Amino acid sequence: MKIRLIHLGVFVSGLAVVGNFVTGCGRGTGQSAAPPPAVTVAPVEQKEIVEWSDFTGHTEPIDAVDIRPRVSGYIQEVNFQSGQLVKKGDVLFEIDPRWNQAIFDQRQAEYDQAKTEADRIDLLLENHAISKEEAEARKARFEEAKAVLDSARLDLEYTKVRAPIDGRVSRALLTEGNYVSGTAGSASLLTTIVSVGSVYVYADIDENSFLKFNELVDANKMETNADGRIPVQLQLADETNFPHEGYIESLDNRLNPDTGSILLRAVFPDKDGQIVPGLFARIRIPLSDLHPALLVDECAIGTDQSQKFVFTLTPSNTVAYQTVNLGQSIEGKRIVESGLQAGEKIIVNGMQRVRPGMPVTPEEGVATKPSDVKTAMR
């Protein structure tokens, strides 16, 4: 029994020594807490802005023309390539002119004869060689021959089908050797041309937006461009911003009672010819006057269930949780309707590394990591 007690005492003493050794190592290494994480902060910006609203629309050409012949006959030549830019007056199709040329030659001969007879009227009357009735008949035949010749000349000219406007031509719907009809009301469709340089964008504006728009216009509070027109912006399906600038051309004269919307038409320059008619588009129009607003970077905004928040920096360089009410997005920033004051500093980079109440090492800067937006808003 004594032997057992002796061994147990040695074991206990050994544990005490080991414990003292471990404790002594902890004190001896001089370990300290990790330094506060570094974050980028930026002040809440106050800026004069105009608020915009987005609407769905589509593009249409300023001018669009169906090309149809004015005389009948067989197509002799097609003088363009599909999608080619053409000028007003360019010959697109040539219809076999021989029949019209023959008719023109016949009318020319009839005209020449009638003109010869008309030129002799005064001399014949002076010599009492013809009666006044015959003189009047000769004048009438001359005028008729002149009109018939002009008609034949037009028909001959119409065998060359010309572009009526500048623009981009479609494909040839009928090619060489096909017979085309030039009869009014049933003339054959040969191709189409749409204008280039500018396009229309049509969009349906809801009733509330329309009333707000009219209120601003009536109060003379709507911002205008250098030409005195109300500016609008355009985004195509493959674009992430609104790079195209245009202006409102007109609003329809009535609201559609079935949809509760009114049709707006805007004009957009298209010098490169890249905006093809029929494209899906989003149009942005101004729906406020110029007024001050608070703005924060999108990447500084987080989502906590159903509410939005930002992390602000306190005077003691700690993190504070602040809920905010947000307005629309403007140039990568969000309007803050309530929750912040101008000049307050908020964390724009490094939100994932901090929690409310945590001390941080702030660095002045701007948002540089767009990917933080997605992470912060999950």
Task: Compute the C-alpha angle 238/244/248, nearest 5°.
Answer: 125
Task: Compute the C-alpha angle 58/63/66, nearest 5°.
Answer: 105
pTM above threshold 0.85: no
Using CA atoms, how far apart are residues 158 and 181, in angstroms rounded to an integer? 12
Using CA atoms, how far apart are residues 59 and 243, in angstroms rounded to an integer? 15
Using CA atoms, how far apart are residues 65 and 195, in angstroms rounded to an integer? 9
Backbone angles phi and psi of 330, in degrees to 5 = -140, 110
User: What are the DSSP calls for 201-217, one per residue?
Assistant: EEEEEEHHHHHHHHHHH
Query: Can you read off the two tokens belonging to residue 256?
Result: 């559609």
Cβ atoms of residues 86 and 165 within 8 Å = no
Strand, helix or coil at 319? strand
Strands 179-180 and 261-270: unpaired
Partnered with residue 57 across adjacent β-strands are: 203, 281
Using CA atoms, how far apart are residues 165 and 184, in angstroms rounded to an integer? 21
pLDDT tens for each residue of the chain, 378 residues long: 444 444 434 433 443 433 443 333 344 444 566 788 888 898 998 888 888 899 999 999 999 999 999 999 999 999 999 999 999 999 999 999 999 999 999 999 999 999 999 999 999 988 889 899 999 999 999 999 999 999 999 999 999 999 999 999 999 999 999 999 999 999 999 999 999 999 999 999 999 999 999 999 999 988 888 889 999 999 999 998 899 999 999 999 999 999 999 999 999 999 887 899 999 999 999 998 888 899 888 888 888 888 899 999 999 999 999 999 998 887 778 899 999 988 899 988 888 888 999 998 888 876 554 433 332 332
Owner of token pair 């101008």: 342
> What was the pLDDT predicted at 26?
41
- Buried residues in 278-301 as b, exposed as e (16+ CB within 10 A): ebebbbbbbbbeeeebbbbbbbbb
Cβ atoms of residues 36 and 360 within 8 Å = yes
Q: Which domains does the chain have, with CATH numbers?
A: 38-49+292-376 (2.40.420.20), 52-62+195-286 (2.40.30.170), 70-193 (2.40.50.100)
Using CA atoms, how far apart are residues 152 and 144, in angstroms rounded to an integer? 12
> What was the pLDDT predicted at 25?
35
Residue 131 falls in which region: left (phi positive, over 0), alpha (psi -120 to 50) or beta: beta
Partnered with residue 54 across adjacent β-strands are: 284
Owner of token pair 């540089």: 368
Query: Can you read off the two tokens belonging to residue 48?
Result: 């004069």
Query: Can you read off the two tokens belonging to residue 33?
Result: 């807490």
> What was the pLDDT predicted at 247?
96
Partnered with residue 225 across adjacent β-strands are: none
